[in-house]
Structure 1
């Protein structure tokens, strides 16, 4: 069996697994260090996950929130990129094994590979639910939604369409709010033949409130904002099973089946199954256990940062802990190479925020009072655009979001391919008829009655 093996360079070789927030923060902090860096990721691009729901709801292009990882060499020559998936780690020999019989040696190893969707053992959730953790997930949600709408546009609404979002965290709330705004604001223009009252956006949350980490007043504001957008909000409701045609839920001991065309799974994360083969100590949620310097316990030259790590004081699985952890580990490595020491990692909580829709958001930011409504929304937009990687991404995202929120008359949606729809009943449409819209609606109602 042939093997492609990276020879350890004269300078210390730092291998970073994962090109997310934490991994890129560590790489960039090592720009002027006397080291060589190899960045490994299963994708050739970084995904800005906080805006995935905007792709799923047809407001952003997938390219707006993805950044080519090899582009990092434009401003940093001591790094190279390698596409691959880590299968095993030999900690004694300090060698990573990747798919395809590729091995990479290292002097320092930084695990920043993030996590994946947690289905909590819910029957059918992994098979029929669509997570929102990857670019392909967002595109699947978007294209499935438009496929359903086009089916109704041709064959009529002989049944209601329900879009279910599972999870009342930031991703779930933002997704449900965006879907509701699309239904309320865009569909009257783009799908005039459909009855919006028969399209339901349902948000399911097991807890008695949404956005648990926020202050009670902000949670209440978010709840009212969702209800104002006519989101079918079901709190204290557990998902017992996901099926191809809907979900089985339970509330107060009573089970109910909710028919659904799409089930978006936006609740919970866990470690990738491959981490089990890495021979590292794992704690809650499969996260890698680290010490006060983000070093993996028992492995002094191996570090874990971001969502995949869990320290003595567990941190939230957000961008800021990953970025700050990555910078600290880079600082630690630079200091150790020079024979120096650094203080233990201390996370600085800069706050958190979530948006419900246009001009509606909540924010808890260090140094500011609790914010809600338009001021929080403006900060949310500005921060997310500024945090994107690359000026092209920032510019494209700003243009698309401005088009969506400032120029409502466009009603433009960023769409992909949907399958051809086969008409169930004979239907003739005359585009020259001034009453085409009304006649199409009446014809479909008649066809639907005949089909029953």
Structure 2
């Protein structure tokens, strides 16, 4: 490979990073793809892994396999710890560094507990394959423990699942967990009736799916209630522990709590020393570059991008892919 070629480093093999790499095919560059995991994750279906509907292999694909025909791409499994903007290097956790001519950060988002990180052990979020398998194990073990529990109150707590956050992830989890309990597992236990499982969706706002039109939120709310989900609105969670959750003036005994209430951007802004919004997303220029460093771009959930109407671009896969294509076109034009 020609080492003199313009070197593009991509951090993050999610939707945005892979689409950028695909769109840059044929350009006179060499590309290094860095990710802390060896697989690309189809995150929109992660909730189905968490609720036993899909196997992990159905939503995760090896990055090397996806890029096997791209001889211009080198894939590295590594943890990024920072970016040396002056030296144009990506810093790795083993003390080494990867030099770049152009850098794309497509590092996604992580859970946000609104200053209560101590809740995470009791209320896992759903962002990674490991998260999904953890949630699946907790749900299934709760049923197994309920099968052996003689105390009615403790049994009901084991059969109560609280989901914090009424966004798309929370709504998807609530619906599929009800289906799991009421249909999939029906008749498989002898001492409990899984149809007695109580799924409670807790949303601090006045409606679920707040980013959707009100009539769609109302439709989803009614659909969940028809399935048997209890939807609690207008009260924020103030405590999560091994016994359950407290929201407003209500206390809910639940042995399984799932967190779907908020996300924060990856540490990209910290790596760059760049300005960020309240969620930690980098405030990028209109061409998605970083102010003062036109050779650095940030896309996807790690970037704060505004639409023409002034509203932020939603953190969904199509947006990240479009941004990836846009940056690829920008680099091609520069070259």
TM-score above 0.5, yes or no = yes
Q: Does 1:236 align with 2:234?
A: yes
Please name the residue that 1:100 is paired with: 94
Task: Report the TM-score, using the length of structure 2 for normalisation.
Answer: 0.93
CA distance, structure 2, for counterparts of residue 28 and residue 17 of structure 1: 14
Cα 1:93–1:8 shift into 2, 3 Å? farther
CA distance, structure 2, for counterparts of residue 297 and residue 319 of structure 1: 24
CA distance, structure 1, for counterparts of residue 28 and residue 162 of structure 2: 51
The CA deviation at 1:8 is 9.4
Which of 66, 70, 82 is the equivalent residue of 2:64? 70
Q: Does 1:82 align with 2:73?
A: no
Please name the residue that 1:262 is paired with: 256
The CA deviation at 1:153 is 1.9
1:281–1:296 CA contact under 8 A, matched in 2: no
CA distance, structure 2, for counterparts of residue 72 and residue 136 of structure 1: 21
Which of 45, 52, 55 is the equivalent residue of 2:46? 52
Cα 1:152–1:127 shift into 2, 3 Å? closer
Which of 207, 213, 233 is the equivalent residue of 1:215? 213
Aligned length: 327
Q: How does 1:139-150 map to 2 (within 5 A)?
A: 139-150=133-144
The CA deviation at 1:87 is 1.2
CA distance, structure 2, for counterparts of residue 336 and residue 35 of structure 1: 12
Ranges in structure 2 where 5+ consecutive residues have no aligned partner: none
Report the 3-state secondary structure (helix = DSSP H, G, I; strand = E; otherwise coil) of the residue aligned with 1:37: strand
Cα 1:110–1:11 shift into 2, 3 Å? same
The runs of at least 4 consecutive aligned structure 1 residues that moved more than 4 Å come to: none
Please name the residue that 2:303 is paired with: 309
Please name the residue that 1:135 is paired with: 129
Which of 321, 324, 332 is the equivalent residue of 2:322? 324
The CA deviation at 1:311 is 2.9
Which of 146, 156, 163 is the equivalent residue of 1:152? 146
The CA deviation at 1:192 is 4.5
> Once superposed, what is the RMSD of the aligned Cα atoms?
1.7
Please name the residue that 1:276 is paired with: 270
The CA deviation at 1:108 is 0.2
Cα 1:233–1:312 shift into 2, 3 Å? closer
Please name the residue that 2:162 is paired with: 164
CA distance, structure 2, for counterparts of residue 8 and residue 277 of structure 1: 29
The CA deviation at 1:152 is 1.9
CA distance, structure 2, for counterparts of residue 237 and residue 284 of structure 1: 22
Q: Give CA deviations for 1:147-204 in whole Å, capped at 9, x if unaligned.
A: 1111222344633021111111100000000001111112322224313454210100
Which of 3, 11, 15 is the equivalent residue of 1:21? 15
Q: Does 1:31 align with 2:25?
A: yes
The CA deviation at 1:85 is 1.6
Q: Give CA deviations for 1:301-328 in whole Å, capped at 9, x if unaligned.
A: 0000001001344211111110000011
Q: Does 1:286 align with 2:286?
A: no
| Structure with the greater alpha carbon radius of gyration | 1
Which of 183, 191, 210 is the equivalent residue of 1:193? 191
The CA deviation at 1:224 is 0.9
Please name the residue that 1:126 is paired with: 120
CA distance, structure 2, for counterparts of residue 82 and residue 113 of structure 1: 15
Task: Report the TM-score, using the length of structure 1 for normalisation.
Answer: 0.70
1:291–1:312 CA contact under 8 A, matched in 2: no
CA distance, structure 2, for counterparts of residue 286 and residue 194 of structure 1: 45
CA distance, structure 1, for counterparts of residue 65 and residue 223 of structure 2: 40
Please name the residue that 1:203 is paired with: 201
2:269–2:275 CA contact under 8 A, matched in 1: no
The CA deviation at 1:66 is 0.4
Q: Give CA deviations for 1:207-260 in whole Å, capped at 9, x if unaligned.
A: 11111122222211111110011101111121001111211111xxxx222111
1:35–1:78 CA contact under 8 A, matched in 2: yes
Ranges in structure 1 where 5+ consecutive residues have no aligned partner: 1-6, 338-452
Report the 3-state secondary structure (helix = DSSP H, G, I; strand = E; otherwise coil) of the residue aligned with 1:139: helix
